[in-house]
């Protein structure tokens, strides 16, 4: 395991051209959670020279990041600034707006370490206004920023086929495309910075409704004493089929919710979506109800469970 605990100094000389970020470019990855870690592993396996940092420091030592000879191992870094040193691009996959701001502009923030011509690819889910503010501040240092939130769960992160929802300049996206193609199966550009986050808000509204519908359907089927595994198999390829039914019904049937996407994070995302709706004077009653259900579950200590824990909002099978 290689470590880089020092602040970046003269080595932080980035190219000012806009050539695509092909392997073996030096790339920093900050945030190694349920999505960030498999994304980092895929980048390393694709040949990128990876600098990694995460708040707990634990996942930096993951065997999949450190396997093989030392020249291919990810470099563990003591701070976001240390991770950004010598790198052409910085990927973020952190929990919320405050975390993004801290990574870029807090003590030992990466924003101060990135040289002109650098690129920040923010895969976090944050408010569009926050993305715009980060882009503006980085632009003052001649560093480009694209918001690139992802969807597809831990399954998609591990398989490298996430859907990437991008906002930013077309030039910056093309610069990032080779790197994004490692983590994503499809990459979509929706317009200026912030538009990727707007599309992610729409996505999270859809997730809320589909998970809640699956939870209700599972509750009804179980109360009717139907053979629910057979029911799910029969229905998942028909008009009622959904990603949630295919990938999360088994968890609901077993009443066991291993982490795919943390309920507390989805709750945060729904607040972003509802705020966007409020700005448009639009009511989203289904989304509002799911937000309230998630609040109840978080009060019960289920904030770190998968979103499929919404099944707990309905009575268990009485039989």
Q: What is the pLDDT of residue 14?
A: 35
What pLDDT is stored for residue 69 in this prediction?
65
Question: Is the bond preceding residue 24 a cis peptide, omega within 30 degrees?
Answer: yes
Over range 250-278, report the average pLDDT. Answer: 96
Mean pLDDT score, 91-102: 97
Q: What pLDDT is recorded for position 11?
A: 33
Residues designated catalytic: 200
C-alpha to C-alpha distance for 76 and 54, rounded to whole angstroms: 9
CA distance 155 to 258: 12
Amino acid 19: pLDDT? 81
Whole-number pLDDT of residue 1:
54
- pLDDT tier for residue 272 given thresholds of 50, 70 and 90: very high
pLDDT digit string, tens, across residues 9-31: 333 333 345 788 998 999 999 99
Give the pLDDT mean for 216-233: 97
**pLDDT tens, 114-158?**
989 999 999 999 999 999 999 999 999 999 999 999 999 999 999
Scan for tokens 């092909």, then name that residue: 22
Fold match between 2-191 and 197-313?
A: no
- State the average pLDDT over residues 49-63: 95
Q: Give the class (CATH, top level) of 197-313.
A: mainly alpha
Q: What's domain 2-191's architecture?
A: 3-Layer(aba) Sandwich (3.40)
- pLDDT given for residue 10 in this prediction: 33
Mean pLDDT for all residues in the chain: 93
Total length of the chain? 319
Q: How far apart are CA 203 and CA 70, in angstroms?
A: 40
What are the boundaries of each domain within the chain? 2-191, 197-313
Percent of the chain with pLDDT over 90: 88
Cβ 103 vs Cβ 94: under 8 Å = yes
């Amino acid at each position: 395991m290689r470590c880089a605990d020092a602040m970046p100094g003269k080595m932080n000389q980035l190219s000012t051209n806009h050539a695509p970020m092909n392997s073996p470019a030096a790339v920093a990855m900050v945030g190694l959670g349920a999505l960030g870690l498999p994304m980092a592993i895929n980048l390393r396996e694709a040949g990128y020279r990876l600098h990694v940092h995460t708040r707990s420091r634990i996942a930096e030592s993951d065997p999949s990041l450190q396997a093989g000879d030392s020249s291919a191992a990810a470099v563990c870094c003591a701070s976001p600034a240390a991770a950004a040193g010598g790198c052409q691009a910085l990927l973020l996959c952190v929990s919320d707006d405050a975390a993004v701001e801290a990574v870029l502009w807090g003590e030992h923030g990466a924003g101060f370490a990135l040289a002109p011509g650098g690129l920040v690819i923010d895969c976090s889910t944050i408010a569009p206004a926050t993305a715009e503010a980060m882009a503006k501040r980085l632009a003052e240092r001649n560093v480009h920023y694209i918001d690139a939130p992802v969807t597809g769960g831990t399954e998609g992160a591990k398989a490298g086929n996430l859907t990437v929802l991008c906002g930013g300049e077309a030039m910056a996206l093309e610069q990032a495309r080779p790197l994004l193609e490692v983590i994503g199966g499809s990459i979509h550009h929706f317009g200026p910075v912030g538009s990727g986050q707007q599309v992610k808000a729409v996505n999270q509204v859809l997730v809320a409704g589909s998970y809640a519908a699956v939870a209700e359907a599972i509750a009804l089927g179980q109360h009717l004493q139907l053979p629910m595994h057979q029911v799910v198999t029969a229905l998942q390829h028909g008009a009622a089929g959904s990603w949630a039914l295919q990938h999360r019904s088994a968890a609901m049937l077993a009443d066991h919710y291993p982490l795919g996407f943390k309920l507390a994070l989805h709750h945060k995302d729904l607040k972003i979506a509802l705020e966007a709706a409020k700005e448009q004077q639009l009511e989203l009653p289904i989304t509002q109800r799911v937000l309230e259900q998630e609040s109840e579950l978080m009060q019960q200590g289920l904030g770190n469970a998968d979103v499929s824990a919404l099944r707990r909002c309905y009575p268990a099978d009485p039989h």
